[in-house]
Amino acid sequence: MTQDLIRRAVIAGTGSALPRRRVTNAELAETVDTTDEWIVERTGIRARYIAGDGETTATLAADAARRALESAGIAAASVGLIVLATATPDQTFPSSATKVQALLGIDDCVAFDVQAVCSGFLYALSVAESMIRSGAATTALVIGAETFSRILDWEDRGTCVLFGDGAGAVVLTAEDGPADPAQARGVLSTRLHADGRHNDLLYVDGGPSTTGTVGKLRMKGREVFRHAVVNLAGVLNEVLAELELTSADIDWLVPHQANARILDATARKLGLSPDRVIVTVDQHANTSAASVPLALDVAVRDGRITRGDLLVLEAMGGGFTWGASVVRF
Ligand code: UT7
């Protein structure tokens, strides 16, 4: 008797890209009223990358996508769908996803941006994998890319030291596998949430339909921190419970990289050993929608994450939005 197969989206390859210029805390302290000690103690951040001339969200995204396609051994021409998560598009329109499409030389595919700030990659992954499961796509690029340095208020030390620029990408392909998630690979379960009552805790004070300007990032950091720990623990428990898993089953937690203290608190709440958590916030700072795929690519390339590992991806950001996904790599 043949076993029933179901279609899932599998991560066929990963890639990432960073701007040329790396800026340490000590360098920032030359122009901002801050210290390396404060930043490291409160956030775990030691450095971030800042986009320079010619480097934009779309160029970083395209570089990350090229590396992901290369690692998957898939030609750009085979891509039928590009979903790009960003809160810092090159322009209000057209979407940065269509710019990436042009940079990759893809003549015809579906391409659009998704905007859920720091949770953007989880939202984009969910949209792309749903389209793969439904048969609307078979090969997809899912990208998180940001240039937050361009919306930071460099006079506000409470926010400007926290963010960096970069991009991460995954190639998803359709694969028919066992119905039982315990034996399957690919995206196994995703949960997303939003609560718009908290718009005013993390936002940009401009936009095309309000001020007509791009605006700068504003954040009530302490309140965001409090919500982040509670919301992340909640959605992680939800997504694990759906598959009847516990934290003991997780090989790697690949979290949104906002603050090392949030990562520690989340791991503690889950009862997960800190050495099962991928941490890149020290080197990249908070790269918003790019942070999860960037951290994933770092850990795949340095050999920590290997085929067959059970991963949990999670993020929380402005909106608020938050979500988590369980993936067998
Ligand atoms: O990715 C989206 C989600 N975002 C987040 O998850 C961010 C969540 N929040 C955080 O990570 C933390 O709340 C921060 C890192 C933003 C701030 O840490 P905190 O421990 O909550 O500090 P605070 O904002 O309460 O500020 C404490 C003190 C203040 O001084 P007083 O009022 O106590 O004298 C600030 O003025 O630290 C001061 N401060 C700084 N000092 C040196 C704030 N920023 C700086 C700075 N350098 N860069």
Q: What are phi and psi of 88, to 5 degrees?
A: -130, 65
pLDDT computed for residue 267 by the predictor: 94
* Claim to verify: residue 111 and residue 131 sit in the same structural domain: yes
Which mutation among 32, 222, 256, 281 tests ligand 1's pocket best, with the greatest number of atoms within 8 A of CB? 222
CA-nearest of 259, 305, 254 to 282 is: 259
Q: Which two tokens stand for residue 57?
A: 């969200």
Q: Which two tokens stand for residue 52?
A: 């320079």
Nearest CA owner, ligand 1 atom 41: 34
* Claim to verify: residue 138 and residue 213 sit in the same structural domain: no
Q: What is the pLDDT of residues 4-27, one digit of tens each?
A: 899 999 999 999 999 999 999 999
* Claim to verify: residue 165 and residue 192 sit in the same structural domain: no
Residue 317 CB less than 6 A away from ligand 1 = yes
**Residue 14 bridge partners (DSSP):** 170
Contact (CB, 8 A) for 237 and 284: no
CATH number of the domain within which 118 lies: 3.40.47.10
Longest dimension (CA), the chain: 70
Last residue of a domain, one of 144, 178, 212: 178
One-letter amino acid of 83: V
* Claim to verify: residue 161 and residue 263 sit in the same structural domain: no
CA 158 to centroid of ligand 1, rounded, Å: 5
Which mutation among 23, 41, 42, 162 tests ligand 1's pocket best, with the greatest number of atoms within 8 A of CB? 42
Q: Between the CA atoms of 71, 72, 76 and 82, what dihedral angle is there, to the nearest 10 degrees? A: -100
CA-nearest of 213, 56, 89, 82 to 140 is: 82
The total of structural domains in the chain comes to 2
Q: What is the pLDDT of residues 120-156, one digit of tens each?
A: 999 999 999 999 999 999 999 999 999 999 999 999 9
* Claim to verify: residue 25 and residue 157 sit in the same structural domain: yes
**Apex CA 130: angle with CA 126 and CA 136, to 5°?**
135
pLDDT computed for residue 234 by the predictor: 96
* Claim to verify: residue 174 and residue 196 sit in the same structural domain: no
One-letter amino acid of 293: P
Residue 229 CB less than 6 A away from ligand 1 = no
* Claim to verify: residue 148 and residue 195 sit in the same structural domain: no
Ranges under pLDDT 70 in the chain:
1-2
| Helix, strand, or coil (residue 155) | coil
* Claim to verify: residue 68 and residue 44 sit in the same structural domain: yes
Cis peptide before 94 (omega within 30 of 0): yes
CA 196 to centroid of ligand 1, rounded, Å: 23
Last residue of a domain, one of 123, 144, 178: 178
Residue 286 CB less than 6 A away from ligand 1 = yes
**C-alpha to C-alpha distance for 168 and 69, rounded to whole angstroms:** 12
* Claim to verify: residue 159 and residue 195 sit in the same structural domain: no
Count CA atoms within 13 Å of residue 288 on its CB side: 31
Tell me which residues are annotated as active site.
118, 256, 286
Give the residue numbers spanning the domain of 319. Answer: 183-328
* Claim to verify: residue 200 and residue 74 sit in the same structural domain: no
pLDDT computed for residue 2 by the predictor: 60
* Claim to verify: residue 195 and residue 234 sit in the same structural domain: yes
Q: Which two tokens stand for residue 179?
A: 């119905």
Nearest CA owner, ligand 1 atom 4: 258
pLDDT computed for residue 4 by the predictor: 87
* Claim to verify: residue 77 and residue 19 sit in the same structural domain: yes
Last residue of a domain, one of 178, 196, 224: 178
